Amino acid sequence: MSLEKHGAFNRLYQKGKMTLGFLPPFEPMTNELPRMENTVELARKLEKYGFSAIWLRDVTIQNLAANDHGQVFDLWIYLTYLAAHTKHIALGTASVVLPLRHPVRVAKEVTSIDRLFPNRLIMGVASGDREKDFQAIGVPRGNRGDLFIEHYQFLERLLKEENPTIHSPLGVVDGDDMKLIPRPVTSIPTMVTGFSQQTLEWIAENGDGWIQYPRSIEDQAILIKDYRALTDIKKPGEFKPFTQTLYIDLSENPDETPTNIPLGFRLGRNHLLELLYKFQAIGVNHLAFVPYFATRPVEEMIQEIGEEILPHFPTHTF
């Protein structure tokens, strides 16, 4: 199965173009857990304006010494909840921490979502970096790169082969009398996040695309150039999109010049538009806003971006 018929993939990604999404929670990041009370309302608002995707994170345990809690609820359960309360906006994982989840269970969850909500899932996967999550589940964090490869290969065979026989330390699937149910509707996009303790060559060859963290325009341009060169070598002619996050605090003054915040900027919409065109020019195909450091109500930010910025970066028709 190819991605040519996958609705979410084609609505998010086209060569030379960029679409926009958001990553909740839609509240400032503090030591307190986010309330998550208005996420469904805001998800529907994002869908109404025409944003292409909402991205959810895989956070297991609250680290009381930190203030980064993700969307609090389990990744798959909350993704299903949002899918049931929206109609067509893509739902992405950024990202499933493969070393902490058994690949057979991930495959079952992914294919169930794909059957219940066809063509809406974009699956980002990662090796993970939250020490307390590894500690709580009893998985050695230092081995996460090797575990990622092992889980990734198991998962990919379950999702992309009709009836595989797999012998692994993680388990055995005998294709003669065992089969994953349900089967996916189409091929499910699997995007590697960060480096996941792997080489750029491995990422270019194996992932359906790449999700990265914010960098300066100059540094991101170099990374994307190297990635594109390697994908042309490893998978000639195959389009593998590049996705990144960007932390923003959108000022009420549309002409406010950018000032740095962690992993992003506080700025007015006119400068945001200029910045987004620069990201599109260097090869970013989808950009997800992260409002963790926003000082302005996210409802207002969504409205302003939806009305003034989004028309320049529309979700693709498919």
271: CATH: 3.20.20.30
Show pLDDT as tens, one digit a residue, over the chain (318 residues).
679 889 999 999 999 999 999 999 988 888 788 888 889 999 999 999 999 999 999 999 999 988 888 999 999 999 999 999 999 999 999 999 999 999 999 999 999 999 999 999 999 999 999 999 999 999 999 999 999 999 999 999 999 999 999 999 999 999 999 999 999 988 999 999 999 999 999 999 999 999 999 999 999 999 999 999 999 999 999 999 999 999 999 999 999 999 999 999 999 999 999 999 999 999 999 999 999 999 999 999 999 999 999 999 999 998
Comparing CA positions, the residue from 244, 299, 286, 294 lying closest to residue 267 is: 294
Give the model's pLDDT for residue 48: 98
In a domain, 318, yes or no: no
Nearest-angstrom CA–CA distance, 249 and 237 = 38
In a domain, 217, yes or no: yes
In a domain, 2, yes or no: no
In a domain, 31, yes or no: yes
- Total count of domains within the chain: 1
In a domain, 1, yes or no: no
Cβ-proximal residues to 237 (8 Å cutoff; 6+ apart), any chain: none
pTM, two decimals, is 0.96
Looking at residue 160, its amino acid is K
Give the model's pLDDT for residue 67: 87
**Residue 41 structural domain:** 7-312
The residue whose two tokens read 């086209």 is 14
In a domain, 44, yes or no: yes
| CA count, 13 A, side-chain hemisphere, 317 | 0
Nearest-angstrom CA–CA distance, 61 and 218 = 35
Three-state SS at 288: strand
Strands 166-168 and 53-56: unpaired
In a domain, 317, yes or no: no
In a domain, 272, yes or no: yes
Nearest-angstrom CA–CA distance, 168 and 158 = 12
